[in-house]
Amino acid sequence: MKRKTPLAAAVLAAAMVLTACGGSPTAGVGAPKVDDHAKEVYDEINGLSGEERTDKLVEMAEEEGKLVLYTSNTDMDSLVEAFEKKYDITVEPTRGNSETVLQRLTTEGNSGNVSTDLVETNSGELNILAQEGFLYDYESEYRDAVREDGQLEGWTADRFNAFVVAWNTDKVKSSEIPGEVADFADPKWDGKVALEIGDVDWFAAVSNYYLDQGKSQAEVDKMWTDIAANASVEKGHSTMGDMLAAGKLHVVLSSYSHTVDGLAGEDKAPVTWKRGEEYVAPVVTRPNGAGLMATAKHPAAATLFMDFLLSEGQQYIAEDFRSTAVPQEGDPLEGVETIPVPEGDMLEDYDRWDRAYRELVGG
């Protein structure tokens, strides 16, 4: 079994605390054994391309007739329906937030009975699952078409979340919104800004952004304590989006762009993250995606869904105001300068960032 990084150990231990029902919270997670049949199918399909691959894969997948999917994406319904309409395959999705998805899989890993064929969730959890041996390599022309920063070890991005500063235009004039996250340290924003309790990866990216600009660590720390003095700390991006739309929050410093765009576009809520073509810097992006389970009982169906997710499925992701992994026209982040979540830091030094976020911000 591969050595756990601090992030893996911390999250897996937390999962065990939540699910062990009296068992040891420090108990390790058993690395799932690669299923021989799944490996055989994956290797066969990975070795094919073009029409030959598609024909063989559809034949094998429809013979399996079923796909079990775990996902933290709340906007998967239309995509799943389109897949079921196109192929004679029944999809059984189980949804939860990213922590719940990881918790469920680690529990199943300990029991030796991982029931899902495919997992679609956030990058942090996927990196852990890949490191712990839950996932199997996926190769295809569709993966090759994904943005380079979305081709990760063990999994492939299907969408990118963008952390943006968003505001309620009835509560705050857009002309009053400053150009940088650091500007919200000004006392005039006291009681008007909100932070999300678990956005450690966003915090790390923004901190590095200002360190790279020449601020000292002490200056960055003071920026955060001053911002925190002005802010409330809330839980859940969807909940915060609803609160922002209702005017219960004025400014959210780490909202998802697709949440804001969805509320403004579908519900006509008075929310935005742009002033014309201007936005608050930095905008932080994080890949989210899917991985094939090494223990899949329906490996062909899982692979076919991956192909669909990265081809026709991208239009359904775009319709939900998300930035797609395969570039599309009308990308909401087109023309926006972004910085990535520091994936390496999150895996290797998560404890330091988590501790700093809690101490400086109250996350």
pLDDT for 358 equals: 95
pLDDT for 83 equals: 98
Same domain, 168 and 234: yes
Any domain includes 352: yes
> For residue 281, what is the DSSP state?
B
pLDDT for 347 equals: 83
Give the predicted TM-score (pTM) of the model.
Answer: 0.84
Same domain, 156 and 180: no
| Tens-digit pLDDT profile for residues 95-152 | 988 889 999 999 999 888 899 999 999 999 999 999 999 999 999 999 999 999 999 9
Any domain includes 1: no
| Tens-digit pLDDT profile for residues 37-88 | 999 999 999 999 999 999 999 999 999 999 999 999 888 999 999 999 999 9
Dist CA 119 CA 75 (whole Å): 15
**Confidence check: pLDDT of 3 > 70:** no
C-beta of residue 261 within 8 angstroms of C-beta of residue 336: no
Any domain includes 350: yes
CATH number at residue 126: 3.40.190.10
Same domain, 183 and 121: no
pLDDT for 30 equals: 56
Q: How many CB atoms lie within 10 A of CB 10?
A: 15
| Tens-digit pLDDT profile for residues 266-309 | 889 999 999 989 999 999 999 999 999 999 999 999 999 999 99
Dist CA 55 CA 10 (whole Å): 43
| Tens-digit pLDDT profile for residues 4-30 | 344 444 444 443 333 333 332 223 455
Phi-psi group of 321: left, alpha or beta (phi > 0 → left; psi -120 to 50 → alpha; rest → beta): left
Same domain, 202 and 351: yes
Same domain, 96 and 151: yes
- CA 201 centroid distance within chain: 11
pLDDT bin (cut points 50, 70, 90) of residue 32 is confident
Q: How many domains does the chain contain in total?
A: 2
End-to-end CA, the chain: 32
Dist CA 94 CA 68 (whole Å): 8
| Tens-digit pLDDT profile for residues 160-205 | 999 999 999 999 999 999 999 999 999 999 999 999 999 999 999 9
Domain that holds residue 137: 6-160+287-335
pLDDT for 345 equals: 86
Same domain, 165 and 154: no
Same domain, 13 and 98: yes
Same domain, 98 and 211: no
Same domain, 28 and 145: yes
pLDDT for 12 equals: 41
